[in-house]
Amino acid sequence: MQEIKPSVDDRVKLCAETVAGPSALVVFGASGDLTHRKLLVSMFKLFTQELLSDRFYLLGCGRKKFSDEDFRSKTEKSLRDSSDFLSSKHLDAFVSKLYYIDGDYNDADLYEHIASRVAELNRKHNVGGNLVFYLAVPPFLYTTIVEHLDSSGLARTSSPGTEGQVRLVVEKPFGRDLQSAVDLNNSIGRCFKESQIYRIDHYLGKETVQNILMLRFANAIFEPVWNRNYIDSVQITIAETDGVQHRAGYYDTSGALRDMFQNHMLQMVTLVAMEPPISFEADRVRDEKVRLLRSIRPFDIDKFDDFWVRGQYGPGSINGKQVKGYLEEVGVKPDSKTETFVAAKLFIDNWRWQGVPFYLRTGKRLPVKDTEIAITFKKLPYSLFSSAGFDELPPNVLVLKIQPEEGIALSFQAKRPGSKMCMSTLNMNFSYKSVFYVDMPEAYERLLLDCMVGDQTLFTRQDDIEISWRLLTPLLQAWDRDSSAPHKYAAGSGSFPEADKLIDTDGRRWRKLAAKSMYDHYQ
């Protein structure tokens, strides 16, 4: 039976964490950036919080030739670079559980060596055959590795009634369109059961994304107004100041729609708009997410321009520094039509949301780094204060800030000190850092622990993936046929006329992206 670790924070009474049982993590791509910048750092934090079993080890697998000691040394450097406060006792104990094996992912002999090493380490650490395989590799290697894991016998769980479980974690992107996603699902499905597969989207591991469910379904004040009768519109924004940087090779064949929209943005839409699940069990939550995705209105192929806008950043200035345009970036084709900005207007055809527009935008080289969900409530049908000049009062706005300043803010109208009729918009703010006095946990901490304890709630299911691609593939195909280039916007600008028109024609406007803080911009 898995241990439940209660919170030691006296201010939080409803808090418990499931501690991982005896298990091993086998990471493919263990010499890469993702492993050392995210995965190993997150595993170490789980280790220091005593959320990993003492009967645990990590086996890295990569193409680079490392010994166990080389891998441990590189890991130690990564951990020291990530934190100024490391316990030598914890560090030594953690790295002693790390091992490494190198080889060619296409070579069947590598998997025989992995099987032999796993059997040896399972006995040494007494993990009982519980294995998590993590594919921190480029997508074109997924099928190759999965098929070799199957043919070598590593994909199979232990016999019924025994302790061992085998799980597979797959990083995004999961396909490039509907057909490739179906093909990939079929390839993996021939080797692993759906209950073994964990398709990871790190946005779902962020505390503030998870808090959407808590906010909606743990507070009676929100459910009565969380519908078309009270909500005017919803805006979801993922803004980045960075360009493509070292990812140009990948990004130029992907673009903003595949890189951010199909996964991160649509997942946030599901959490905001889904119906209450009958329980918090993984498949009951995921059932409602899938039902919501099925309710998104398909796009009329002849009217894409009324619902979608794509852009590409040109030269400009970010924080006073001149930066290149996308076509000038190293690794980008000089005639590339890849979009770095996407804006969309979605409608959800169900009882709760009929007629409520969802405005979504994501882009690179925007003026601020900002991820937020803004729920704008309908305006008052009649102002009692029109005689004092308040003919039309601003609407209430609930803002869920995902990053970089995690928190929640609500704008409302109130009297200010002074004359009899002195009214203005005030903001009621909650900041995670100012309340809990801690930095927000890394998203991978949550997701790694969940896959080790067998909780699939925050991982996307096969039907979820395929429905998302079915919605977006006609748009991708239309853009491929379109000979025109994306609209240009200067790096550092918050928007551009074509993107503004998408929302202006409805009598609304985008929320500002030039704010200094989460609390100083409400429109």
- Residues of the domain holding 480: 204-504
Tens of pLDDT, residue by residue over 69-80, are: 999 999 998 888
H or E element: which one contains 56? strand 56-62
Do 154 and 229 share a domain, yes or no? Answer: no
Contacts of 275 (CB under 8 A, 6+ apart): 288, 291, 292, 352
In a domain, residue 341? The reply is yes
Residues 376 and 278 placed together within one structural domain of the fold: yes
Q: Are 356 and 232 in contact (CB under 8 A)?
A: yes
Residue 187 lies in a domain: no
- Evaluated on CA atoms 117, 121, 122, 127, the torsion sign reads negative
Closest by CA to 345, choosing from 356, 337, 353, is 356
What's 447's DSSP letter? H
> Is 112 inside a domain boundary?
yes
What is the tally of structural domains in the chain? 2
Residues 279 and 152 in one domain: no
154 and 246 housed in the same domain = no
Q: How far apart are CA 150 and CA 132, in angstroms?
A: 14
405 and 473 both lie in a single domain: yes
Q: If DSSP codes are grouped into helix, strand and coil, which group holds residue 446? A: helix
What pLDDT is stored for residue 521 in this prediction?
42
Task: State the Cα–Cα distance between residues 260 and 362, nearest whole angstrom.
Answer: 7
Same domain assignment for residues 116 and 247 = no
Tell whether 509 is covered by a domain: no
Q: Are residues 405 and 331 in the same domain?
A: yes
Specify whether the CB–CB gap between 192 and 462 falls below 8 A.
no
- 152 plus 251 within the same structural domain: no
pTM above 0.75?
A: yes
Q: Beta-carbon neighbour count of residue 420 at 10 Å?
A: 6
Q: Determine the pLDDT at residue 10.
A: 44
Q: Is residue 178 part of a domain?
A: no
Name the residue among 29, 117, 44 with its Cα closest to residue 76.
44
Residue 474 within a domain: yes
Q: What is the pLDDT of residue 383?
A: 61
Measuring CA to CA, which residue among 25, 78, 33, 15 is closest to residue 55?
25
User: Is position 191 within any domain?
Assistant: no
Residue 489's pLDDT is: 96
Q: Are 354 and 348 in contact (CB under 8 A)?
A: yes
283: left (phi over 0), alpha (psi -120 to 50) or beta: alpha
AA letter at 87: S
Same domain, 165 and 219: no
Beta carbons of 241 and 318 less than 8 angstroms apart: yes
Give the pLDDT confidence score for residue 319 in this predicted structure: 87
Sign of the alpha-carbon dihedral angle for 282, 227, 392, 500 = positive
105: CATH: 3.40.50.720
- What is the CATH classification number for the domain harbouring 234? 3.30.360.10
Residues 401 and 270 in one domain: yes
- Alpha helix ranges (H) inside 455-496: 462-481
Mean pLDDT by 10 residues, the chain (523 residues): 47 65 94 91 92 94 94 91 72 94 95 94 90 93 95 73 76 90 94 94 85 88 93 96 88 92 93 93 94 94 89 94 94 94 97 97 95 92 60 84 87 70 75 74 90 92 95 93 91 93 94 60 40
The packing angle between helices 178-189 and 142-151, to 10°, is 20
Q: Which of 36, 202, 264, 521 is catalytic?
A: 264
DSSP string, 11-54: T-SS-EEEPP-SEEEEEETTTSHHIIIIIHHHHHHHHHTT-S-S
Tell me, what's the pLDDT at 157? 63
End position of a domain, from candidates 171, 192, 216: 171
Whether residue 98 is found in the same domain as residue 220: no
pLDDT of residue 123: 92
Q: What would the DSSP string read from start to end of 433-445?
A: HHHH-SPPPPHHH
Is 148 annotated in the active site?
A: no
Is residue 513 in a domain? no
Please indicate, yes or no, whether residues 103 and 220 belong to a single structural domain of this protein: no
Provide the token pair at 290. Answer: 């899938």
